[in-house]
Structure 1
Amino acid sequence: MVKVVVCGAAGGIGQPLSLLLKQSDLVTDLSLYDVVNAAGVAADLSHINTKSTVRGHGRDDIDAALAGAHTVVIPAGVPRKPGMTRDDLFKINAGIVRDLAEGVARNCPSAFVLVISNPVNSTVPIVCEVLKKHGVFNPKKVFGISTLDVVRSSRFVSEVDPSIDPKNTRVTVIGGHSGVTIVPLLSQIHGQAFTKEQLDTLTHRIQYGGDEVVKAKDGAGSATLSMAYAGARFTNVILEATIGGKTGLIESTYVNLLADPESTSVFRTKTGLDYFAQDVEFGPEGISRIVPLPVISDYEQSLLNEAIPELMTNITKGASFITDSTI
């Protein structure tokens, strides 16, 4: 049995994400958890003629929802509203993510944990610190899904240069998953040479693409459909590597660098960062290796220099939420 759990399944991201995961032949049991309406979403999806069974679990049923899970995807939390930064979300979402991580530690300590809940730069350290407290932390199995930055990059560069196929062009994105911490490595796109003006425009749009959606929805929501697509894409990579036996699968993702201490030791010493988004190769155990950073341009190095102190602040805030807690 391959049980995949979506925590926050009735939300704006959770519903389309669950729909996309219902289509995977690698999922046999799709478990939907939310504080409200999970049963209704599960009943709706259960009519789709794919192999997996679907079960809904409510507020008081988290242990049953998570028990024996192979993969847990966490989009739970409040969405961003106009004028709200990802950091503003921390006060609300930190507690939600902490409680879900506690549930994982109790019921499926060996599961792969995929975090969507913002701010990812801080919520991933929260999950890791909770798992550490329970003695079940495996850095190869906890991920911040920063795939939307990759998806946006591929799409946005194709709008600047129509000769680029957005579907088959994957842009490496390093750093984190908010604002200036997002560093797209546009210099790595083979055969492309963007002007400084194009780089400035593309980089800003990739870094603040979420704001574009929040503004367009005029207070009615944030990036839910594109995030669900990106979340399903990353979840399927995990399933293909760990269950399907596929090799050579690589995606950019925000991880604890101790997942591959040998490859990241110099970078960790130089920057002081414990978490970072970069290309990761996947295998049966989750992270097979963290791909070393390529030679980046001076422009990208300046972006990275700006990202590092912001990342450090975000990481410390998330980790301290658990380590300084008396709960």
Structure 2
Amino acid sequence: MVKVVVAGAAGGIGQPLSLLLKASPLIDELSLYDVVNTPGVATDLSHISSPAEVTGYLPENGEGVKKALKGANVVVIPAGIPRKPGMTRDDLFNINAGIVKGLIQSIAEVAPEAYILVISNPVNSTVPIAAEVLKKAGVFNPKKLFGVTTLDVVRAETFVASIVGEKDPRKTTIPVIGGHSGETIVPLFSQASPSVDIPSDKLDSLVNRVQFGGDEVVKAKDGAGSATLSMAYAGFRFAEKIIKAVKGEKGIVEPSYVYLPGVAGGDAIKEATGVDFFSVPIELGPDGAEKAINVISKANDHEKKLLEVAYKDLKGNIQKGIDFANKPAEQK
């Protein structure tokens, strides 16, 4: 039995993400939680002819989230407010950080063994918040806490395919490492498999497009939303890989933002980057993050310059999350 919980299931990311999860034959139970509209979303999805049984929960004075989380194997967290025009991921911080902290506290109490997939922005800070909350509760397992950076990977695959003429972007594997906002996102095109030839006059704009693809969507939607559909796809892709790995499938590798000291191979990456949290390709297994793969040493000179900027920005993002998690409630 595999039970997946979506926390924030009625939102712009949560609904399409829940649809994709409901369609997956790998899931037996899909539990939806949000502060509004969840029973309606759950009923709608329950009419789809796939195996997963769907239930929806509202807060119910704190009891709803506990009911939703009970027995969870995987919890995906897209909860939070979306970006609006002119708003950076950092602008979302105080609201979304508080939402994530509350959800993680509930997970620590009700489903401490679950794999936790954090989508809520800013991921660079919300994952450290989650780690701090789990540490305080005495249930932190670094192998089971993931920041979902798959959208950056998906964008890199898609944008490169359009340049090199590949019809199916999924056939190209591109490591995208660092964090999940702006210049902390570093695509390593030099390590693409199969290798790709990016014209030098297109490289800088390609990197920029991967780093700031979210802004492109926000602008195109003209104030009516952010990257909800592509993020839902990316969240589903990562969740599905986690489930497959838990079920015993071998050789699954996907970049994710993790706590380096708690994952095999992470110490060397921490030494190279100077940060505790970083996204690198992660080999997934039944226990979660089995190995962090060090691709930094193979970065070319252009990529190394990008990485130096990412390290500096990430240090501040991570510390901001840790500080938030450790502040008394009245100071936030």
Question: TM-score range with shorter-chain normalisation?
Answer: over 0.9
SS at match of 2:82: coil
Check if 1:277 corresponds to 2:279: yes
Cα distance, 1:302 vs structure 2: 0.3
Tell me how far apart the structure 2 counterparts of residues 256 and 120 of structure 1 sit (CA, whole Å).
12
Cα distance, 1:326 vs structure 2: 5.5
Tell me how far apart the structure 2 counterparts of residues 155 and 94 of structure 1 sit (CA, whole Å).
30
8 Å CA contact 2:269, 2:294 repeated in 1: no
Cα distance, 1:192 vs structure 2: 2.2
Cα distance, 1:103 vs structure 2: 0.7
Q: Describe how 1:1-327 pairs up with structure 2 within 5 A.
A: 1-60=1-60, 61-163=64-166, 165-189=168-192, 190-243=194-247, 245-261=248-264, 263-293=265-295, 294-325=297-328
Cα distance, 1:191 vs structure 2: 3.4
8 Å CA contact 1:30, 1:52 repeated in 2: yes
| Structure 1: gaps (5+ residues) | none
SS at match of 1:167: helix
8 Å CA contact 1:87, 1:119 repeated in 2: yes
Fraction of identical pairs, as percent: 56
Q: Which protein is richer in helix relative to its size?
A: 2
8 Å CA contact 2:217, 2:226 repeated in 1: yes
Tell me the TM-score normalised to structure 2 length. Answer: 0.95
**For 1:91-150, what per-residue CA distance to the aligned partner results, in whole angstroms no more than 9, with x for missing partners?**
110000000000100100000000000000000011111000100000000000000000
Tell me how far apart the structure 1 counterparts of residues 24 and 168 of structure 2 sit (CA, whole Å).
25
Cα distance, 1:167 vs structure 2: 2.0
| Structure 2: gaps (5+ residues) | none
Cα distance, 1:270 vs structure 2: 4.0
Tell me how far apart the structure 2 counterparts of residues 84 and 305 of structure 1 sit (CA, whole Å).
25
8 Å CA contact 1:259, 1:287 repeated in 2: no
**For 1:267-309, what per-residue CA distance to the aligned partner results, in whole angstroms no more than 9, with x for missing partners?**
3234320000010000000011111225011000000001101
User: Once superposed, which parts of structure 1, at least 4 consecutive aligned residues long, lie more than 6 Å away?
Assistant: none
What is the aligned-residue RMSD (CA, Å)? Answer: 1.2
Amino acid at match of 1:282: L
Count of aligned residue pairs for this structure pair = 325
